[in-house]
Structure 1
Amino acid sequence: MKKRLAVAFTGPSNSGKTTLILKIARKLIHEHKLEVAIIKHDPKDKARFDVEGKDSYKFSDTGAEVIVTSPNRTTYFSQRKSELEDMVRLFGEFDILLVEGLKNLPLPRISIFRNEIDVDYFAFMNALAIDKSVDISQYDVPKSVDILDLNTTDEIISWILKNAKKV
C-alpha cells in the first residue's frame, strides 16, 4: 500500500520552485525508493505538451479528452479543469505527490523565495524555504511557519515526510 501523501510548493516566478521539486523528486525516487507524482499548475495556460502537426496535438485540438499510450508511457490531454481528487485518481498508486502552484488547495505548503519575501504568501504557507539572499530578520514570519534552507534538500524532504497530507 502506497503512502499517498501530498505537499504543495508556491512562490513567485523564477523563485526556484521547479528546480527544488526536481531535486526533491530525484532524491525521493533514487535514494528513498518512493514513487513520486507531480502536478504543475499552469496559471497562464501556456504549457504545450505536443508539437503542432502531430496526431496527439490534432486530437487534443478537437476539444476531446485524449490519452496517448505507448509501451513506456501514457499521456492524458484534458480540455476540462480538474480538481485535486480527479488528478490524484489519474495517478493511481504513489507515495508522494508534489504540487507546484495551486495555492488554494488544502495541502501543506512550502513557499519559496529568493532576495525578498512577499508577505501576502504568509496566509498560504506552512513552511518557508529561503536561501541566504533573504534577510529573515526583516520579516515578521508567523510562528506557525517553519523556516527551511532552500539549498538543503534533505531538510526539506524531512519536513515533507513529517507534514505531507494523506490524499
Structure 2
Amino acid sequence: MTTTMHQGPKHIIGIVGWSGSGKTTLLSDLIPVLTERGYTVSTMKHTHHDFDMDRPGKDSYRHREAGAKEVLLTSRKRWALLHELRDEPEYEIDALIAQMAAVDILLIEGFKSHKYPKIEVNRPSRGKDLLCLTDDSVVAVATDDRFDGVGVVQIDLNDVEAVADYIVSYLRLEA
C-alpha cells in the first residue's frame, strides 16, 4: 500500500488552556464527532515533560540507546517513527506539522505561544486568567459558564457538537 506523506494537514486549530481545564477531554470528545461527519483528523500534543514511548529491553529501545537517529516501528495495524534529537534543539511546530500526513483537520493541544487559531478552554470556577485577553490568535473560548467583557465567541464547553460546529464554520469546511 502506498500513501503520500508529508503534505501536511489542510486546516489547523488548537485547543489551549491552563492545566486541568479539560483540554484533553474536549479533544478526545471532538475527534469522533468530527470523524463521524466525514473529516479526517490528526492530533499533535505538546508536552513540557520528557517522555518516552519506548520501553527498556525492547529491540527499538536498544537501537535508540545504541545511537540510531531514527527507529521506525511497524506492524499491520500501525507504525511509529521515533526520532532522537540527541543534542539538537526541539523542532519548531511548523517543521513538525510538515512531517504529518494530509488530513482535513489537525487539532493541536498545547503550543500556546504559536500563532495558529486556537480555542481556549477555561472554567471560571478554576480562577485562571483568560488567555484570549492577551493572545489575539484565540478565536473562541469553550467554557462551562459565561465571561463578561470577552471579545471572542464563547461556546458551551459541555456541548461538543457546538464546539465541532464552530470549528467546521471557522475553518470554512464543506459539509
The TM-score by the shorter chain falls in which range? 0.7 to 0.9
User: TM-score scaled by structure 2?
Assistant: 0.78
Q: Which residue of 2 aligns with 1:70?
A: 75
- Superposed CA deviations along residues 93-112 of structure 1, whole A, max 9, x for unmatched, are 10100000001222111111
Gaps of 5+ in 1: none
Higher mean C-alpha displacement, 31-40 vs 55-64 = 55-64
1:3, 1:48 → 2: CA distance? 25
Q: In the TM superposition, what is the alpha-carbon distance from 1:116 to its structure 2 partner?
A: 3.2
Classify the secondary structure of the residue corresponding to 1:93. coil
Q: Does 2:45 match 1:40?
A: yes
Q: Does 2:106 match 1:97?
A: yes
Q: Which residue of 2 aligns with 1:126?
A: 139
Q: 1:157 aligns with which of 154, 164, 169?
A: 164
Is contact 2:16–2:23 with CA below 8 Å preserved after alignment? yes
Q: In the TM superposition, what is the alpha-carbon distance from 1:154 to its structure 2 partner?
A: 1.2
Classify the secondary structure of the residue corresponding to 1:53. coil
Q: In the TM superposition, what is the alpha-carbon distance from 1:92 to its structure 2 partner?
A: 1.9
1:67, 1:89 → 2: CA distance? 18
Whose helix proportion is higher, 1 or 2? 1
Alignment RMSD (CA, Å): 2.5
2:16, 2:129 → 1: CA distance? 13
Q: In the TM superposition, what is the alpha-carbon distance from 1:39 to its structure 2 partner?
A: 0.2
Is contact 1:127–1:147 with CA below 8 Å preserved after alignment? yes
Higher mean C-alpha displacement, 74-83 vs 11-20 = 74-83
Q: 2:31 aligns with which of 3, 25, 32?
A: 25
- Superposed CA deviations along residues 146-165 of structure 1, whole A, max 9, x for unmatched, are 11111111111111122249
- Taking only the aligned residue pairs, the percentage that are identical comes to 29
The higher radius of gyration belongs to 2
Q: In the TM superposition, what is the alpha-carbon distance from 1:53 to its structure 2 partner?
A: 1.6
